[in-house]
Structure 1
Amino acid sequence: MAQNVPSKGVKIPIDSSYWNDYNTRVVCDIFVDQVATGLGLDDARKAVTTISARWKQLKSDIAGCTKFMKVGLQNEELLEKMFEDIHNTDANH
Structure 2
Amino acid sequence: MLRRIVVLLIAVIGFPVCGLLIGYGYFVVFEFLNGPLPDAVLEVFLILWGGFGVAVACYCVWDTVQTELDLRRLKARDAVPDQDSDRNK
Shorter-chain TM-score category?
Answer: under 0.3
Which has more radius of gyration? Answer: 2
- TM-score by structure 2 length? 0.25
Q: Which has the higher contact order (CA 8 A, sep 6+)?
A: 2
Q: Normalized per residue, which structure has more helix? A: 2
- TM-score by structure 1 length? 0.24
Q: Normalized per residue, which structure has more strand? A: 1
